[in-house]
Amino acid sequence: MNVLVAGGTGFVGHALVRHLLLEGHGVTALVRDPVRARRALPLPVRFHRWDAACDPVPPEALAGSEAVVNLAGEPIGPGRWSAERRRRLRETRVGATARLMEALAVAPGVRVVVSASAVGYYGDRGEAELGEAEPPGQGFLADLCRDWERACLAPAVPAAAPAGPPTAVRCVALRIGMVLGRGGGALGVLLPLFRGGLGGPLGRGRQWLSWIHLADLVRLIAAALAEPGWRGAVNAVAPDPVRQAEFARALGAAVHRPALLPAPAFAVRAAAGDFAESVLSSQRVLPRAALAAGFRFAHPALRPALDELCDAAEPGLERFHADLWLPRGVGEVFRFFAEPANFGRIMPPWLGFEQAGAPPPELHEGALLDYRLRLYGVPVRWQSRIEAWEPGRRFVDVQTRGPFALWHHTHLFRPLQDGTLVSDDVRYRLPGGPLARGVAGWKARADLRRVFEHRRRRVEELLAQ
């Protein structure tokens, strides 16, 4: 299936695009800036420029597409929602969805549209259990979500087939709850606070919070694309809504820190402005449509989901992931990464990276590699050992001496669309206690992003030669 994704570089969109590609689908992405998008998504994706706030959908982007996923929308974040801000929130959701649906009239191949909405549709509903049949609530966010869904669901645009009568486009509107995943979303904001011991419930802590694990949301979107019985509104939430205070306790326990500092409602409103409407509302949302369709959640309960996402069994553990797609065969790409002489060629100059002594003539399980580098001007020796060695598939190196308390780096190589997907999964722990790790953690994450971004550019340059 060829899928057009609007909003493919966002937190959810990135995970969805990767999932679709690994499942064998083709992906085209509508993005505001294709150059930046290629850096954010170094994957075999076709990019087309589109400003969701004002642009019509380029017809060439829809050519050959059989399905559309619409995740576009300016982020709803803290601050005052001025008249201009509210206009942009509406235009990048309601207006963008309407323009997307209009474009389908000349895209006869598209048969299904999955469009984002949010549990904000229900407004502040107290203790009520909310299934898809419930009416919308009151307030700006509820009105926004209602109109957002109408732009997609009513009416469903007919696609004129090359021959025969028009076929109705099947439309699904996902009312998405708080998305929990590594590297962004709600946890990207909350984890630094909770790891620093500054977490706690918001407001009275009695309001209901509906959430979903990122992996389940991606699978749910894929199911909505594939299953013809899915249509209309679908609550994209786990079947375990919790109260705000329970969420705070579970997240505190997952990071082994107390969560005892409540934020009174007046303080939340003062700090978050109009955004406080979304975090202080009570929405006890249930995924009735998804469960009735037979969807099985991999992460149905909050505490195990948070334990998994926060690596609760290994306090202080951090994770980093990077993907890179190269238009070369797996064998060639693996040989490049497995050649010790190439290690220094792909490292940024500011690291001062160089081999310390002669490297082994070829890598193998148990091989030791010694380097010298400079971290913030300080000379450092780093020794790593090849823990696993599977030629053409993966290898793993672990630090035996160096600046980290733990460093475990898996290099994975997979064929993907006439090329190779290189995935780097790093598990690391900084030295020191929770306070020291909290202070240095943001810098370490930023430096890793810089290192792997430079590495990506250099690998692309060298293999292009």
Please report the DSSP string for 207-230 in residue order: SEE-EEEHHHHHHHHHHHHH-TT-
Cα distance between residue 1 and residue 449, in whole Å: 32
Cα distance between residue 55 and residue 62, in whole Å: 14
Domain 2-309, what fold?
Rossmann fold (3.40.50)
pLDDT digits (tens, 9 = 90+) for 49-71: 999 988 999 999 999 999 999 99
* Cβ contact 280:146 at 8 Å: no
Mean pLDDT within 281-308: 97
Cα distance between residue 372 and residue 382, in whole Å: 6
Please report the DSSP string for 332-343 in residue order: HHHHHHT-HHHH
| Confidence band of 157 (pLDDT split at 50, 70, 90) | very low
Which regions of the chain carry the CATH code 3.30.530.20?
318-464
* Cβ contact 171:152 at 8 Å: yes
User: Is 326 a residue whose pLDDT tops 90?
Assistant: yes
Task: Report the sign of the C-alpha dihedral through residues 187, 190, 195, 201, in that order.
Answer: negative
How long, in residues, is the chain? 465
Residue 158's identity, in one-letter code, is P
What residues have CB less than 8 Å from 237, skipping those under 6 apart?
Answer: 119, 175, 176, 177, 210, 211, 212, 285, 286, 287
Which regions of the chain carry the CATH code 3.40.50.720?
2-309
User: Is 159 a residue whose pLDDT tops 60?
Assistant: no
Mean pLDDT within 22-42: 94
Task: Report the sign of the C-alpha dihedral through residues 306, 308, 314, 316, in that order.
Answer: negative
| Confidence band of 263 (pLDDT split at 50, 70, 90) | confident
pLDDT digits (tens, 9 = 90+) for 287-297: 999 999 999 99
Domain 318-464, what fold?
Alpha-D-Glucose-1,6-Bisphosphate; Chain A, domain 4 (3.30.530)
Cα distance between residue 423 and residue 326, in whole Å: 11
| Confidence band of 163 (pLDDT split at 50, 70, 90) | very low
